[in-house]
A and B are shown apart, each in its own frame.
Chain A
């Protein structure tokens, strides 16, 4: 997989596509000397969120192995630059929606590590009251719209959020994360088509971590670069960025936000990144479908270490400051796990409270007396 970034705005003809390809790389190099005009504090905050995501996920892996967390659990380790780069430029009234690899996006958006970890534990203090689990992290007060478990199913939802924004004449945007396997599913094409045709302010952010579960995307996608899939749609801006570089992701997203706010143009950004762990906690990190060497090679380009070094080199970060942030992140992850461990289990009597908004008759489950005796 190449990480060479490319950029184009589709105008819909073959000629334009050829011209785009010929003009090559239009994006400035990743390590912007001025850090995209961000203050030192803003840069350090982004680094802090990346470290928090990493340490949270490491703790998650640890407690999963201890049997504290059940079901499917997909970790984000290695991809931190994408969530941190893309979510931090949003406003509070913008929307975020994502797939099932959703813990880091929630943390970067501002959800507390406690509420996310308690959700993974299936506890009542979880952000979704223990009813959703790892794949269904929701935070309505932050416009964090989940956590969706069916590949590709939330792209139409993102288009719907974009529709609602335009319907109300708002200037918010909807940022939608999804993985590389989505480019082959119908809802991807259907959603990009509607967003482009009706100019819905949605940023479709493809996290290309190279594998859909254990299948390398190039084995199943009949396209040279996934970003080309976006170029089929007139009125959609498409580009690829280095997803291991938080500044590159941030810059592409900032520009996409600006386009979406001002002229409602949707964007499709392919962020080329890598997950160090297996697809989920049930899978090995390497073996049948990729080599240890490949994983190690990507690890050597780690997004956190890369950004840390850039900040140190620019005199924006002290080594001790980094160590302190890291210690703090580890403590936060520990505290989140402790909190989750102590949080009560959901009360079975509340199980029917959030299936319908109104007083729906749920007596069908209560008509058998023997059921009560057994429970």
Chain B
């Protein structure tokens, strides 16, 4: 196994899948000659040519829709959004076309497509370029939503997403491309969509997180361990379908839970997870479930304010202490 960056892992996943299946093509802004705005598609144009790596005009709605039409006609498109912020322009195609086609055609047209790109906050990009799209898509039946936290997961899950016969929203982390690196198997592997993973075992409190917040949670767990609190960190990896059994199993063991995510607090992923915990593990809980999220504001530009808005390991530690009645 070699240590690879999150970015390299994604690039490898696409390369391997494109070698395996000629019906896969990539379309998006700057994916070709520029090598990708975040260099995730680096080198692919040279290797596969312009019909398989297509530089799109700045027209998110329609290049996303082009992907849906191509998928209906038998191809397997990967639509890259430069960031998920811009994908709001394509929301109609993701929700009204891709997600619903199989159902409203009575099962005649499935749409094997991956919509991918970076989401989440970045550094001082202000309100329109710093936000978490996860709940917007997780709400929609017909979509699958994936948000990996590690390079290993990113590669294995992207390969699964590309092979999936239905639309997959694949949310990467703008701040993880380079900063996240871990061991990626040398041999061929895939990670199934819909399976959470316990990233750290512990007995005292369950911390549920996904994407970038997995790293904040692991950091918090190390800090908590110094105080004698052993936290179990469950990485959801997939938001739709949620792997609730893994979460419940952990909560039944620890009897306490903290649900962490980067985005806004209202109607978010955590709200769903908490509902599932109270339904399935009510009698096992020794404390109300705590939630950690970003603050309920559009992201401010000023550095000091931005720092307050982002959840961090300190928040997770405080919430964990709280549910353990250790604060």
Residues of A within 8 A of B (CB): 95, 97, 126-132, 136, 138-140, 145-150, 153-168, 186-187, 190-191, 193-194, 197-198, 353-358, 360-361, 367
Contact = CB atoms under 8 A, between A and B. Distances in A.
Given A155-B62, A160-B68, A193 B57 contact: yes
Given A95-B73, A130-B106, 18 more contacts: A126-B106, A136-B105, A138-B105, A145-B69, A148-B97, A157-B66, A160-B77, A161-B70, A161-B73, A163-B75, A186-B59, A187-B62, A194-B56, A355-B103, A356-B144, A357-B165, A357-B166, A367-B279
B110 interface: yes
18 contacts: A95-B73, A128-B106, A129-B107, A131-B105, A139-B108, A146-B109, A150-B96, A154-B97, A157-B65, A157-B72, A160-B67, A163-B69, A167-B25, A187-B62, A190-B59, A190-B63, A194-B62, A355-B103
Given A159-B62, A160-B68, A194-B59, A358 B165 contact: yes
Nearest to B51: A167
B73 A361 contact: no
Contacts of B108: 128, 138-140
B143 to A, nearest CB: 9
Contact of B72 (A145, A194, A355): A145
Nearest to A149: B96
A194 B65 CA distance: 11
A178 to B, nearest CB: 13
Contacts of A149: 96
Given A157-B72, A160-B73, A355-B142, A140 B66 contact: no
Contact of A165 (B73, B97, B101): B73
B62 A191 contact: yes
B185 interface: no
Contacts of A161: 69-70, 72-73
Contact of A186 (B61, B66, B67): B61
B97 A145 contact: no
A361 B194 contact: yes
Nearest to B167: A356
A197 B107 CA distance: 33
Interface string B135-161: 000000110100000000000000000
Interface in B257-293: 279
B17 interface: no
Contact of B92 (A153, A164, A166, A361): A153
Interface in B10-67: 25, 51, 54, 56-57, 59, 61-67
Contact of B106 (A159, A168, A354, A367): A354
A140 B72 CA distance: 10
A156 B65 contact: yes
A194 B63 contact: yes
B71 A160 contact: yes
A156 B77 CA distance: 14
A361 B238 CA distance: 13
B161 to A, nearest CB: 13
B241 interface: yes
A83 to B, nearest CB: 20
B61 to A, nearest CB: 6
Contact of A191 (B65, B77, B102, B141): B65
A167 B52 CA distance: 8
A65 B104 CA distance: 24
Contacts of A198: 54
The 8 closest A-B pairs by CB, nearest first: A160-B69, A156-B65, A157-B69, A190-B62, A129-B106, A354-B107, A128-B106, A164-B73
A140 B105 contact: yes
A164 B75 contact: yes
A186 B96 CA distance: 16
B298 interface: no
A153 B166 contact: no
B93 interface: yes
A153 B97 contact: yes
A138 B101 CA distance: 10
Contact of A353 (B61, B75, B107): B107
Contacts of A162: 69
Given A164-B70, A167-B51, A361-B194, A156 B106 contact: no
Contacts of A356: 102, 142, 144, 166
Contacts of A191: 62, 65-66
Contacts of A129: 106-107
A100 to B, nearest CB: 11
B74 interface: yes
B21 to A, nearest CB: 13
B61 A156 contact: yes
Nearest to B50: A198
A362 B68 CA distance: 24
Contacts of A197: 57
A22 to B, nearest CB: 32
B62 A150 contact: no
A203 to B, nearest CB: 14
Contacts of A157: 65-66, 68-69, 72, 97
Contacts of B73: 95, 160-161, 164-165
A156 B63 contact: yes
Interface string B64-102: 111111111111010000000000000011001100011
Given A166-B51, A190-B57, A159 B69 contact: yes
B96 A153 contact: yes
A161 B51 CA distance: 14
Contacts of A145: 69, 72, 109
B308 to A, nearest CB: 35
B78 to A, nearest CB: 13
A72 to B, nearest CB: 13
A39 B95 CA distance: 46
A164 B51 CA distance: 10
B9 to A, nearest CB: 24
Nearest to B240: A360
Contacts of A159: 62, 65-66, 69
Interface centre among A126, A131, A197 (most CB of B within 10 A): A131
A147 B51 CA distance: 28
Contacts of A168: 74
B75 A155 contact: no
Contacts of A146: 101, 104-105, 109
Nearest to B25: A167
